[in-house]
Amino acid sequence: AQSVTQLGSHVSVSEGALVLLRCNYSSSVPPYLFWYVQYPNQGLQLLLKYTSAATLVKGINGFEAEFKKSETSFHLTKPSAHMSDAAEYFCAVSDKRGYQKVTFGTGTKLQVIP
Amino acid sequence: DTAVSQTPKYLVTQMGNDKSIKCEQNLGHDTMYWYKQDSKKFLKIMFSYNNKELIINETVPNRFSPKSPDKAHLNLHINSLELGDSAVYFCASSQGSQPNTEAFFGQGTRLTVV
């Protein structure tokens, strides 16, 4: 069964600094991968997804992620953090077979320091 | 206009009670889900319906019973509530049930069992 591991439950960056949130996946075949964001007291919102079309995926709000098969990674980055980026970020994986059944990571809380 | 709406937003109830959470989506999607997010923010799928048909039924106690009267609604009924049922329950929907589809989440229902 596929799974994802998010390294670091809390990440703090200064406003304007690079954001790097790490995600490693485990799957017997390259899966579909997602990043979702959860703002306080809200549901999850899709940032971006990897569906094997291109290894560098661009999402909303200036975020992007690169799929690296050799490293089984799908790290999320943003060149310059904004205060509004403070939220919980979830990496998720879905097997390419069968129905949509996403397995989420345990989340990384991003704090942006002014 | 809220795309995926859940009611109630907060629910506090005593052990042993029966309660329901309602979910409605106005996106015209044909697939709906229930997820449970525990106190450690771990998010796990419980059920999925496609065109009112149950397609995913994870290992969930029989006390939890989903009902989909039509494609736009997916309700969750919980019998004999236990302390361990305390969590945030998210409803979500997607167009299609393929593994790479984006899920749209409601704002969640915070259930507290006392």
Instruction: Convert the pLDDT of each residue in A25-81 to its tens digit.
Output: 998 777 899 999 999 888 899 999 998 878 999 999 999 999 999 999 999 999 999
pLDDT of A28:
75
Please answer yes or no on whether B48 and A99 come within 8 Å at the CB atom. yes
pLDDT tens for each residue of A69-103: 999 999 999 999 999 999 999 999 988 777 778 88
Report chain A residues whose CB lies below 8 A from the CB of B41.
Answer: 88, 106-107
B52 — pLDDT class (breaks 50, 70, 90) = confident
Q: Is A74 exposed, middle or buried (0-12, 13-18, 19+ CB in 10 A)?
A: buried
Residue with the bigger pLDDT between A12 and A103: it is: A12
Please answer yes or no on whether A101 and B40 come within 8 Å at the CB atom. no
Across chain B, what does the average pLDDT equal?
93
| B105–A contact, CB cutoff 8 A | yes
pLDDT tens for each residue of B75-98: 999 999 999 999 999 999 999 888
Report chain A residues whose CB lies below 8 A from the CB of B24.
Answer: none
Residue that the structure tokens 């697939």 belong to: B31
Residue that the structure tokens 């703090």 belong to: A12
Which of B97, B104, B108 is facing A100, going by the closest CB pair?
B97
Q: Are A81 and A63 in contact (CB under 8 A)?
A: no
Reference B9, options B113, B83, B108; nearest CA is: B108
pLDDT of B1:
63
pLDDT tens for each residue of B21-35: 999 999 999 999 999
